[in-house]
Structure 1
Amino acid sequence: MSPADFRRYALFYLGYYGALGAYTPYIGRWVTANGHGGYVVGAMLALWYGGRIVAPPTWARLSARSATPGHWLIAGCVLAALGFAAFAGFAHGAMLFVVMAWFGVFFNAVMPQFEAMTLSALGPRNHDYGRIRMWGSVGFLVVAGTYGWLLDRLGNDAFVWLTLPWLALTVAAAWLHRDDRPPPVSSTGTTPRGELWRRPGVRHLLVTALLMQLGFGPFYVFYTLHLQAQGHDGFAVGVLWAIGVLCEIGMFWLAPRLVQRFGAHRLMTACLLATIGRWVIVAMFGGSFAWMALAQTGHALSFAAFHAGCMRRMAELFPQRREMAAAQGLLYGFSGGIGGVAGAGVAAVAWQLGGGRWAFLAGAALACVALAAHVLPARAVRPVAVSET
C-alpha cells in the first residue's frame, strides 16, 4: 500500500470513529437530558446495534455485485449523515426511534464494507491493519475526550451539531474511494453465506466475539451515566474516555507484533481475562477517578488487541479476497449486531434494577462466559496464506 493509499484509508477511519466518539459516549447523556429513562436509552442502543444485523450482509452483497463499490460507500455515508441530522428535529416520541433506526442501518452498513476494502488492499500484509485502524482511535480520542467538557458549557442540545462535522468528514473521505474497484471474482463466483458459516473455526470465533460484545453492553450504553451518577463531571468523563482511547491507540500500533509473536488465540485469551477484571473494577470502584483510570487502561486489551486478533482470524479463515466483504458482514452482523442488541437489553435491565454496579457486574459475568467459550477445545483450523484471488 502506497503512502497516498494509506492516507486515504486512514482518513475514513478518522472521520467514522470521530463520529462514533461523539455517539457512543454521549448519546445516553443526550437522551436522558431530554427526559427519557434507562429503558429508552437501552432501546435506542438496541436499535443502533440492530442495524448491524440487517444492514452489513445486505450492503455487502449489493456492493460486492457492483462494478463501483465506492459509490455504495459514499451513498451509505450520505444517508447516515442525513439520518443523524434528523435528531435535531425529533428528540421525542416515535420519530426518535425511527430516526435512530435509520441512522443505525446506514452508519453500520458501511464499516464492514470498508474493513473488507482495507484488508483487501493490504493483501498479505494484513498484520499492518492496526496501524491504519489506529487513526480511527485518534478520531475517537479527540471527540470523546473533549465533548463532555463542551456539552457542560454549550448544553446538551449542541450534541447533534457537534457531531455532524465528523459525519461530513466521513462523506468526504468516502469520496476519495469513489473509483475503487472490487477484487477480481473467480470463476466459482461468490461463496454462499451458509458455506462461510459452516467453515471450521468460524462459528467458534463468532460466538466468542458475540459474548464479548454482550459484556461490553453496559460500557457502551451506560458508562458515561455511571460516571456521572458517581459524581464525576463532564471534564473527568472526557478524560477517562481519552485514557481508554490513548491506550487503544498504543495497542493498535503494537498489535501487529503481538499477533505475530503470540498468535490470535492466545492474545484474545489475555484480552478476555483483562476484560473481566476491568468490569469488576468499574462496578465496585466507580467513585474513584484513580481506579477508573486504571480500568480504562484495560481498553488496550479488551478492545484494541481483541479486535486486532479477530481481524487476524478473519484473514486466516477467509484467505480469498472475494470472500472478505461477506465474511466481514457476517462477523459484524452476528457479533456486533445480535451481541449488541442483547447486550443493550441486559444492560438496561441491570441498570434499572441496580444501577451501574449491577450493570457492570453483569458485564463481567458475560466476559467470563466469553472466556469459557473461547478456551473450549475447538476444531483446529490451519491458517492459510492470504490469496490474491
Structure 2
Amino acid sequence: MMERVPYIRLSGFYFFYFALLGALVPYWSLYLQSLSFDAATIGLVMATLHISRIFAPALWGWVADRSGERMRIIRLGAAATFVIYLLIFWQQSAVGIALVMLGYSFFWNAVLPQFEVVTLGHLKEQKHRYSQVRLWGSIGFILAVGGIGVVLEYIDIIWLPAILLSLIGLIWLTSLAVPEPERPEQLTQAPVSLLLLLRKPHIVAFFAITFFVQFSHGPYYTFYSVLLEDVGYSKTAIGLMWSIGVVAEVAVFAVMHRLIDRFGLRQIMLMSLVLCVLRWGIIGASPESLMLLVIAQCMHAATFGCLHAVGIALVNIYFTGNTKGRGQALFSSIGFGLGGTAGALCAGFLWEAGGVELTFYAASAAALCGLVLAFVWIWPEKAQ
C-alpha cells in the first residue's frame, strides 16, 4: 500500500498538468488554423512548445540537483508559466504567439521532469507503482480533450486561450500542496559523474531512441486534429478520437508494474516500438478508415504509455544519486525537446510537400530507427 505517500496530491498535479496538454495539443493547431495560418506556419509555431524542452529541463535539472529543492523550483516554474501566458491575449500574429509560447514553455517544460523525480522520491521502495500515480495525468487528459471538444461545438475556438489559462492556474495551485520528499540518497551516496555516464554506449543509444520516438510523434501532435477535421470529423468526434488513445494509455498504466514484472523492460520496449512503426504507417495509408484509425489510437497504449513508463524506469536505472534530476531532464530535453521540435518542424514542411501519407511514413521510419537501436543496445539487466 501507499500509506505514507501523498498519493492524492501527486496524482492531482499530474491530473491538471496533463489536462492542460489535453486542451493544448489537440486544439491549439485548430486555434492557429482559425487565425488563417498555413501548415508550415502552424508547424513552426507548434515547434516552439518543444524548443524550450531542449535546454530548459537540463538547466532546471542542474539547479535542482545542486539545491535539492525541487518543489520550490516546480512552484516557481508554475507561477512563471501563468504570468507569462497572460500575454497571449494580446497576440494575433504568428511571431507574437510563438514568442509567448516560447516564453511560458521555458518554465512549463522544466516542471514535469523535476516532478517525476519528486514522485519517485515519495514512492521510495514502491517505485513500481509510479504508473498508478501517473495514470491520473492520462485521466486528466481524457476529460479535458473530450470535454473541450464538446464545449467547442457551442462556443468559438477563440475562447481556447482562456480555458488554457484556467488550467495553468490549477497546476500552480496544486503544486503548492505537494511536499518536498526526503533526500536520504544525498547523505549516503558519493557524487556520480554525469559525463562518465553519458559516455556509455547504451545510454547514448537510449537517448537516441527517445529522440526518434518523439520525432515520430511530431506529425501526430501537430496535425492529427487537422487531418481529422479535413476528413470531415466534428470537434466532438476529434476529442473522442484523442480520448480513445489516452483511455488505452490509462489501461496500460494501471497494469504496467505487472507487465514489467512479467516481460521485462527490454521486451516491452521492443514490442512497443514495433507497434509505433505500424501505428504511423496505418494513419499514413488509411486516414479515411474509421476502424483503422481507432486501431491506431489504441496503439497509443504502447507508443506513449509503455515507452514513457519504460523510459522513466531506465532513467532510474541508468542515473543514480546526484544525477537523477539531470537524467530526467535529459530524457525530456532530448526526447520531447530535440525530438519533438524536429518532428513538428519536419511535419509542417512534409505536410505542405506531400500531405498526410508522406508525413506519417516519415514518422514510421523514425520509429524504425529507434527499434533497431533498442534491439542492439537496450539490455537493462546489464546496465551496471
TM over 0.5: yes
Output the CA distance in 1 between the equivalents of 2:93 and 2:328: 34
Task: Please give the secondary structure, in 2, of the residue aligned with 1:108.
Answer: helix
TM score, norm. by length of structure 1: 0.93
What does 1:153-192 correspond to in 2, within 5 Å?
A: 153-177=154-178, 179-180=180-181, 182-186=183-187, 190-192=191-193
8 Å CA contact 2:219–2:343 kept in 1: the answer is yes
Q: Distance in 1 between matches of 2:354 and 2:108?
A: 32
Runs of 4+ in 1 over 6 A off after TM superposition: none
Tell me the residue number matched to 1:229.
230
Point out the more displaced range, 199-208 or 35-44: 199-208
Query: Counterpart amino acid of 1:139?
Result: G
Helix, strand or coil at the partner of 1:263: helix
Matched residue type, 2:115: F
Tell me what 1:81 maps to.
82
Kept in 2, the 8 Å contact 1:252–1:304? The answer is yes
Matches within 5 A, 1:117-136: 117-136=118-137
Give the conservation status (yes or no) of the 8 Å contact 1:48–1:104. yes
Q: Note the C-alpha offset of 1:30.
A: 0.8
TM-superposed deviation, 1:377: 4.7
Identity of aligned residues (%): 27
Residue 35 of structure 1 and its aligned partner are, at CA, apart by 1.3
Question: Which range is displaced more, 101-110 or 283-292?
Answer: 283-292
Mapped contact 1:56–1:332 kept (Cα < 8 A): yes
Tell whether the 8 Å contact from 2:192 to 2:320 is kept in structure 1 after alignment: no
Residues 18 and 139 in structure 1, CA contact (< 8 A), matched pair in contact too: yes
Counterpart position of 1:387: none
Cα contact 2:211–2:339 (8 A) shared by 1:
yes
Asked if 1:274 is matched to 2:301, the reply is no
CA RMSD of aligned residues (A): 1.9
Aligned to 1:13: 14
> C-alpha separation between the residues in 1 aligned to 2:379 and 2:267?
16
Q: CA deviation at 1:184?
A: 4.6
Q: Which runs of 5+ in 1 are unaligned?
A: 385-389
Task: State the one-letter code of the partner of 2:331.
Answer: L
Deviates more, 1:370-379 or 1:330-339: 370-379
Following superposition, the deviation at residue 333 of structure 1 comes to: 0.7
Q: Relative to structure 1, is the Cα distance of residues 247 and 237 closer, same or farther in structure 2, using a 3 angstrom cutoff?
A: same
Aligned equivalents of 2:292, 2:315: Cα separation in 1: 34
What is the deviation of 1:195?
Answer: 2.5
Greater mean deviation of Cα atoms: 322-331 or 108-117: 322-331
Establish whether residue 337 from structure 1 lines up as the match of residue 360 from structure 2: no
- How many residues align? The count is 383
Report the equivalent of 2:147: 146
Alignment pair present for 1:116 and 2:123: no
Deviation of the 1:82 alpha carbon: 2.2
Partner Cα separation in structure 2 for residue 68 and residue 370 of structure 1: 34
Contact in 1 for aligned 2:270/2:371 (Cα 8 Å): yes
1:293 corresponds in structure 2 to 294
5+ long unaligned stretches in structure 2: none
Distance of 2:38 and 2:91 partners within structure 1: 17
TM-score, with normalisation over the residues of structure 2? 0.94
- The 1-side partners of 2:281 and 2:185 are apart by 48
Q: Does 1:373 align with 2:369?
A: no
